[in-house]
């Protein structure tokens, strides 16, 4: 039959990244087993093990602010609940504005964030050096700052959810690829995997950058596209920088870890899709170095220790896709998180679990439901504060 | 050398003289290996270990700039040199209590969770202690922008050793003008462009649009000058390096690799040890005996000993201890001896000495091959991954060649291998040449058996699996018990291999140990994916380099 613990599961989760793990965890907590998580790589091999660990609540869409705020609460108590300390450090996100227009846009975000009860601040140009010591004068006209945003170490969060899911009886198989999803009369009936077939009535597509491949393996067309993003880490310095610093113009973002290294990236126009794999480019190394040294000249002699890259799973409107696909009963999306899936995962996957169980969620369908892309017109609301 | 020019600099306020060409480390290690910094997690004293600019053992501050490797740095007149991190000082570090309190190890991810209100306090505390010093103020040397060297070349040879030289020389006779990139500063070669003192990273090959010069190399000199080279063919002749070994207190000042020890061989009487315990029974040990024999007190081998080594030791009157398990270092602040046991349940014994020199395992220095995506195969003999090669020395990546130690080709065939690569580049490879003899690929790895036996011994002291990040053998075992398998996952679980040496000194042993713990061959435990840059590159250098060609690595 197959090389998996059982021949039949109530739910099969495709993808063992933070989204798949948290989805399985919430489902198991709801007593909806047996659950199987399949991942063709090793634990943490996807974007979940390659990201910058940023957690922010400053967004252009109210629904995202709310999800993020809930996730911040989740990560604050993560250490007690999951037995692993992700060192979630709430020392703020600082968005830099390089022009009056950008500042005006950040102000609108600030107003929205404030109206949700979060203590965001607008910073004048001369206040920036208090948050970013050594910032080159004239490099920004101002910015916004929210102290309760922060950064965490992704790995312990992964281990914590992985072990919690396992302890709740979830079966997890790594190195196993999902090859196809079978259906009958518009409903999921099973999954074909490299370890053999599994019967199931529900599948969660938490395949991150590969979510459109997995959807296609179920015969579904989705607008998600994978985009490669590069990132680097430097040698450790004495901590001098508290917040995550973000600049919209080039998508520059960086923070200093508890360990002392700077971790950050910026956005380059790489061709979409996963076909070219995950190389690092000279273009990135040099562009990132120029951006960092331009903003913080004192970093000239700091050395880059390593660079790597990972896939964002982008959607046309910058919002994730959460919910059952109207074309295929039992096929539930948990993808399209772009560059923000790690921070949103604990909160977003509560809704994934409810969707699997056929329960209603509090998410506005016009923002998150998969059907929004089936209409001839694109959705009217979109999240555009995507970089960093 | 009377009359040789000297430079005077200050080390911790004291004036020190360096001879021309001498490294900072050689200048300050005249009597004993200095303790230059404290380790990350347990604040253990740390001293130079690798001697070739790869490990985390000699990071000092020069003119306020942190993270300068003393073994690669050539002091300038009036430099101010201070020790690396230590609180309040490297000599008297109060935080060594962490080493004493957390005898079973300190797990940063499972500890520090309670009480919840203490979270931010832990954060602040750890941040206060983290890192290797503040960034240098913007002034002086740090801001001098050195213009980059931008080149293109038909053939680039990376290396500088004998095989590099042989390939380059043959290329010259075949009408090429190879560009040689040497990390050290060795004499050049007529007919070749020879750039010494540059550390390079390979990006490419570009697979798209069949680029004319598909390989891109980025590099930097110690001065901070950048280097950007595009090439049609690249020959990797990066040689090998001496691996680490796991035993109790293996991070003690005085434990060092043969690479580091041999750096002192030009003037053995000034070597910072006089009674070294030499570990190894093969060619490398022979070399150490030949060049530093007068400073060696005993030869210890983890397995059998080559007859040449037996002879050399007996000529020098040095006792020999074959088939020994290294259990631990004696000495609280520096090496005073070793505790050992004869393998196969033999007796325990100890030896006195003031250094442990590791010459038991020379492994390929292959990051460039990994970065270029060359197919690599596990070779059990030395226990390492070597490139898969055809008889002409071509790797699985078109245009990429490997010669010399990095290929595992055995002497005396290396020269032949080096020349074949040159002929292949010229399109004149002999079609009928036979494969050259290489290190053993099949069968069991000697060290695997060694570690299987060692892991059953009772342990004393810290067994440091990863020197840069203070990861313990115990941490590997915890990961294994938690179901975390494979080197990639264990790396992320324990932080092993994430430090400044990028896994060079921990993964070779971790691979064998995990193979024992997981009960599967090392090749299945896998390896860590190589990330660029091969050697840490200054942001300022990168910022000056042009990026008109997007070289990429897989
Ligand atoms: C460089 C970079 C920086 C980022 N920075 C941040 C940040 O600061 N903050 C933040 O919140 N987010 C950030 N992100 C985004 C975040 O990492 C992702 O949104 C998040 O990790 C997505 O989690 P996931 O579980 O959906 O996907 P992944 O972690 O990618 O997991 C998907 C898994 O699916 C598996 N899979 C795919 N296809 C198949 C198949 N057919 N069969 C079986 N398994 C399959 C893959 O092996 C993979 O393990 C960043 C991402 C990148 C690349």
Of A217-231, A363-377, B530-544, the range with the lowest mean pLDDT is: A363-377
Assessment of whether the complete model's pTM goes beyond 0.90: yes
CB nearest to A159's CB, from B119, B136, B493:
B493
How close A221 gets to chain B, by Cα (Å)?
28
H/E run at residue B4: none
Identify the CATH number of the domain in which residue A307 sits.
Answer: 3.30.9.10
Residue carrying the six token digits 């600019």: B53
Q: Do A325 and A350 share a domain, yes or no? A: yes
HSE toward the beta carbon, residue B104, CA cutoff 13 A: 3
Instruction: Decide if A218 contacts B112 (C-beta within 8 A).
Output: no
**Where does a domain end: A269, A297, A313?**
A313
Residues in chain A: 388
Instruction: Decide if B60 contacts B117 (C-beta within 8 A).
Output: no
How many Å apart are CA B512 and CA B523, to the nearest integer? 10
Give chain B positions within 8 Å (CB) of A90.
120
The residue of chain A nearest to residue B112, with distances taken between CA atoms, is A85
For A46-96, write each residue's pLDDT tens digit: 999 999 999 999 999 999 999 999 999 999 999 999 999 999 999 999 999
For residue B419, what pLDDT is reported? Answer: 95
Task: Give the domain range for residue A143.
Answer: 89-148+226-313
Q: Do A108 and A237 share a domain, yes or no? A: yes
Instruction: Report the Cα A297 to chain-centroid distance in Å.
Output: 30
For residue B112, what pLDDT is reported? Answer: 82
φ, ψ at B221 (rounded to 5°): -95, 165
Q: Do A233 and A213 share a domain, yes or no? A: no
- Classify residue A68 as exposed, middle or buried by CB count within 10 Å of its CB (0-12, 13-18, 19+): buried
Question: Whole-number mean pLDDT of chain B?
Answer: 91
Question: Which of A19, A198, A208 is the best mutation target for the ligand 1 pocket, counting ligand atoms within 8 Å of the beta carbon and taking the most?
Answer: A208
Q: Do A187 and A300 share a domain, yes or no? A: no
Dihedral of alpha carbons B274, B275, B277, B278, sign: positive
Atom 20 of ligand 1: nearest residue by CA position: A341
Could you give the C-alpha distances from B404 to A168, B131, B364, B380, in angstroms and in order?
A: 53, 38, 9, 18
Q: Is residue A77 part of a domain?
A: no
Q: Report which DSSP code applies to B354.
A: S
Q: Is the pLDDT of residue A156 over 50?
A: yes
For A375-387, write each residue's pLDDT tens digit: 877 777 889 888 7
Q: Do A238 and A288 share a domain, yes or no? A: yes
How close B444 gets to chain A, by Cα (Å)?
26
Reported ipTM: the value is 0.95
For residue B365, what pLDDT is reported? Answer: 97
How many Å apart are CA B187 and CA B194, to the nearest integer? 8
How close B72 gets to chain A, by Cα (Å)?
15
Q: Do B539 and A299 touch (CB under 8 A)?
A: yes
How many Å apart are CA A198 and CA B511, to the nearest integer? 34
For residue B57 the two structure tokens come to 């053992």
CB nearest to B110's CB, from A85, A289, A293:
A85
Select from B43, B46, B123, B57 the least CA-distant residue to B87: B43
HSE toward the beta carbon, residue B495, CA cutoff 13 A: 19
Give chain A positions within 8 Å (CB) of B120.
89-90
Select from B485, B492, B494, B488 the least CA-distant residue to B515: B485
Q: Do B543 and A297 touch (CB under 8 A)?
A: no
Radius of gyration of chain B (CA): 23
How many Å apart are CA A43 and CA B485, to the nearest integer? 9
Instruction: Decide if A306 contacts B532 (C-beta within 8 A).
Output: yes
- Which position has the higher pLDDT, A1 or B544? B544
Identify the CATH number of the domain in which residue A165 sits.
Answer: 3.50.50.60
Q: Do A308 and A250 share a domain, yes or no? A: yes
Instruction: Decide if A254 contacts A263 (C-beta within 8 A).
Output: yes
Structural domains of chain B, ranges and CATH numbers in brackets = 5-140 (3.10.20.440), 149-241+364-425 (3.50.50.60), 244-360 (3.50.50.60), 444-520 (1.10.10.1100)
For residue B158, what pLDDT is reported? Answer: 98
Instruction: Decide if B30 contacts B475 (C-beta within 8 A).
Output: no
For residue B161 the two structure tokens come to 């050793």
Q: Is residue A334 part of a domain?
A: yes
Query: What is the maximum span of chain B, computed from C-alpha positions, in angstroms?
Result: 73
Residue carrying the six token digits 């699997």: A356
Q: Do A105 and A217 share a domain, yes or no? A: no
Instruction: Decide if B358 contacts B257 (C-beta within 8 A).
Output: yes
- The SS3 call for residue B439 is coil
Q: Do A143 and A231 share a domain, yes or no? A: yes
How many Å apart are CA B239 and CA B363, to the nearest integer? 8
H/E run at residue A63: helix A62-76
The residue of chain B nearest to residue A43, with distances taken between CA atoms, is B489
Q: Do A289 and B539 touch (CB under 8 A)?
A: yes
Instruction: Decide if A65 contacts A57 (C-beta within 8 A).
Output: yes
Q: Do A165 and A300 share a domain, yes or no? A: no
For residue B210, what pLDDT is reported? Answer: 59
For residue B548, what pLDDT is reported? Answer: 52
Atom 49 of ligand 1: nearest residue by CA position: A46
A and B: number of Cβ contacts within 8 A: 192
For residue B269 the two structure tokens come to 């009487």
Question: Which of A227, A339, A343, A352 is the best mutation target for the ligand 1 pocket, counting ligand atoms within 8 Å of the beta carbon and taking the most?
Answer: A339
Query: Crossing angle for the helix pair B283-292 and B307-316, nearest 10 degrees?
Result: 20
**Where does a domain end: A292, A313, A334?**
A313
Q: Do A362 and A267 share a domain, yes or no? A: no
A59 C-alpha to ligand 1 centroid (Å):
20
Residue ranges for chain B with pLDDT beneath 50: 1-2, 139-143, 209, 549-554
φ, ψ at B59 (rounded to 5°): -80, 115
Q: Is residue A335 part of a domain?
A: yes
Q: Is residue A300 part of a domain?
A: yes
How many Å apart are CA B428 and CA B175, to the nearest integer? 13
Q: Do A233 and A301 share a domain, yes or no? A: yes
How close A226 gets to chain B, by Cα (Å)?
17
A74: left (phi over 0), alpha (psi -120 to 50) or beta: alpha
- Classify residue B151 as exposed, middle or buried by CB count within 10 Å of its CB (0-12, 13-18, 19+): middle
Give chain B positions within 8 Å (CB) of A298.
135-138, 142
Instruction: Decide if B522 contacts B553 (C-beta within 8 A).
Output: no
Select from B467, B485, B475, B470 the least CA-distant residue to B522: B485
Structural domain tally of chain A?
2
H/E run at residue A202: strand A196-205
Q: Is residue A72 part of a domain?
A: no
Q: Is residue A378 part of a domain?
A: no
Average of pLDDT values for A210-233? 97
Q: Is residue A57 part of a domain?
A: no
Average of pLDDT values for A28-44? 96
Q: Report which DSSP code applies to B192.
A: S
Query: Crossing angle for the helix pair A341-356 and A62-76, nearest 10 degrees?
Result: 100
How many Å apart are CA B134 and CA B145, to the nearest integer? 21
Sheet of strand B276-279: strand arrangement = B255-257, B355-358, B276-279, B296-300, B320-321
Q: Is residue A67 part of a domain?
A: no
How many Å apart are CA B288 and CA B269, to the nearest integer? 14
| B17 Cβ neighbours under 8 A, 6+ residues apart | B6, B7, B8, B27
Could you give the C-alpha distances from B359 to A281, B238, B257, B368, in angstroms and in order?
A: 37, 18, 6, 24
How many Å apart are CA A229 and CA A268, to the nearest integer? 7
For residue B102, what pLDDT is reported? Answer: 85
Average of pLDDT values for A96-102? 96
- Which position has the higher pLDDT, B209 or A374? A374
Q: Do A307 and A174 share a domain, yes or no? A: no
**Where does a domain end: A274, A289, A313?**
A313
């Amino acid at each position: 039959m197959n090389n998996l613990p059982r021949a039949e599961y109530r739910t099969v989760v495709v993808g063992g990244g933070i989204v798949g793990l948290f989805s399985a965890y919430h489902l198991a907590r709801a007593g909806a087993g047996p659950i199987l998580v399949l991942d063709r790589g090793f634990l943490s091999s996807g974007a979940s093990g390659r990201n910058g660990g940023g957690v922010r609540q400053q967004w252009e869409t109210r629904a995202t602010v709310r999800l993020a705020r809930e996730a911040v609460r989740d990560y604050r108590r993560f250490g007690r609940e999951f037995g692993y300390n992700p060192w979630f450090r709430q020392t703020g996100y600082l968005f830099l504005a390089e022009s009056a227009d950008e500042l005006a846009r950040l102000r609108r975000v600030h107003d929205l964030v404030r109206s949700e009860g979060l203590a965001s601040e607008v910073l004048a140009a001369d206040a920036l050096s208090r948050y970013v010591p050594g910032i080159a004068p004239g490099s920004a006209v101002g910015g916004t700052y929210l102290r309760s945003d922060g950064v965490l170490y992704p790995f312990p969060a992964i281990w914590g959810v992985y072990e919690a899911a396992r302890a709740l009886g979830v079966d997890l198989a790594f190195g196993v690829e999902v090859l196809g999803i079978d259906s009958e009369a518009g409903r999921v009936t099973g999954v074909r995997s490299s370890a053999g077939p599994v019967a199931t009535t529900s599948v969660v597509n938490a395949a991150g950058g590969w979510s459109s491949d997995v959807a296609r393996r179920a015969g579904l067309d989705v607008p998600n596209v994978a985009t490669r993003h590069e990132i680097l880490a430097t040698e450790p310095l004495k901590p001098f920088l508290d917040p995550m610093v973000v600049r919209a113009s080039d998508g520059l973002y960086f923070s200093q870890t508890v360990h002392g290294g700077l971790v950050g990236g910026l956005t380059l126009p790489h061709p979409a899709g996963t076909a070219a794999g995950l190389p690092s480019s000279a273009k990135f190394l040099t562009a990132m170095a120029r951006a960092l040294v331009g903003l913080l000249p004192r970093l000239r002699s700091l050395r880059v220790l390593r660079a790597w890259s990972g896939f964002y799973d982008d959607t046309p409107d910058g919002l994730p896709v959460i919910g059952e696909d109207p074309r295929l009963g039992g096929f539930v999306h948990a993808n399209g998180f772009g560059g923000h899936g790690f921070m949103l995962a604990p909160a977003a996957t509560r809704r994934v679990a409810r969707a699997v169980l056929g329960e209603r969620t509090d998410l506005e369908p016009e923002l998150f439901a998969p059907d929004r892309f089936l209409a001839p017109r694109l959705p009217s609301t979109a999240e555009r504060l995507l970089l960093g | 050398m009377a009359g040789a020019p000297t430079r005077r600099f200050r080390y911790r306020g004291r004036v020190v003289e360096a001879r021309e060409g001498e490294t900072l480390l050689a200048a300050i290690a005249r009597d004993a290996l200095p303790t230059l910094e404290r380790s990350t997690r347990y604040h253990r004293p740390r001293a130079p270990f690798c001697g070739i600019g790869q490990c985390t053992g000699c990071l000092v501050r020069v003119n306020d700039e942190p993270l300068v490797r003393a073994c690669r740095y050539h002091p300038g007149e009036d430099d101010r040199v201070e020790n690396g991190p230590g609180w309040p000082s490297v000599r008297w570090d109060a935080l060594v209590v962490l080493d004493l309190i957390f005898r079973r190890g300190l797990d940063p991810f499972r500890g520090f969770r309670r009480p919840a209100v203490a979270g931010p306090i832990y954060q602040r505390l750890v941040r206060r202690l983290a890192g290797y010093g503040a960034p240098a103020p913007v002034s002086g040397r740090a801001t001098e922008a050195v213009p980059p060297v931008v080149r293109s070349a038909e053939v680039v040879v990376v290396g500088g050793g004998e095989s590099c030289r042989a390939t380059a020389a043959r290329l010259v006779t075949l009408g090429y003008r190879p560009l040689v990139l040497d990390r050290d500063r060795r004499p050049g070669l007529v007919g070749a462009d020879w750039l010494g003192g540059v550390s390079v990273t390979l990006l490419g090959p570009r697979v798209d649009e069949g680029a004319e010069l598909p390989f891109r190399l980025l590099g930097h000199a110690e001065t901070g000058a950048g280097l950007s080279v595009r090439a049609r063919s690249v020959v990797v002749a990066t040689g090998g390096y001496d691996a680490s070994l796991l035993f109790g207190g293996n991070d003690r000042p005085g434990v060092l690799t043969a690479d580091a020890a041999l750096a002192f061989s030009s003037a053995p009487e000034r070597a910072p040890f006089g009674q070294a315990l030499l570990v190894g029974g093969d060619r490398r040990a022979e070399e150490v005996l030949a060049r530093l024999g007068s400073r060696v007190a005993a030869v210890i081998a983890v397995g059998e000993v080559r007859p040449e080594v037996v002879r050399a030791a007996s000529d020098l009157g040095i006792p020999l201890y074959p088939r020994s398990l290294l259990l631990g270092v004696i000495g609280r602040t520096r090496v005073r001896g070793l505790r050992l046991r004869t393998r196969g349940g033999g007796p325990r014994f100890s030896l006195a000495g003031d250094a442990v020199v590791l010459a038991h395992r020379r492994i390929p220095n292959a990051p460039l091959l990994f970065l270029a995506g060359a197919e690599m195969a596990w070779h059990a003999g030395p226990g390492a991954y070597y490139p898969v090669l055809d008889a002409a020395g071509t790797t699985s990546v078109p245009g990429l060649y490997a010669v010399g130690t990095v290929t595992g080709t055995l002497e005396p065939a290396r020269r032949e291998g080096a020349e074949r690569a040159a002929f292949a580049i010229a399109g004149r490879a002999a079609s009928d040449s036979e494969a050259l003899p290489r290190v053993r690929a099949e069968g069991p790895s000697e060290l695997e058996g060694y570690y299987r036996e060692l892991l059953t011994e009772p342990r004393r002291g810290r067994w440091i699996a990863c020197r840069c990040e203070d990861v313990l053998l115990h941490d590997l075992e915890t990961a294994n018990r938690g179901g975390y398998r494979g080197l990639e996952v264990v790396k992320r679980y324990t932080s092993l291999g994430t430090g400044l040496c990028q896994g060079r000194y921990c993964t070779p042993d971790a691979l064998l140990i995990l193979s024992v713990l997981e009960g599967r061959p090392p090749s299945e435990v896998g390896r860590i994916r190589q990330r660029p840059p091969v050697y840490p590159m200054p942001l300022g250098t990168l910022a000056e380099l042009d990026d008109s060609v997007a070289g990429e690595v897989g």
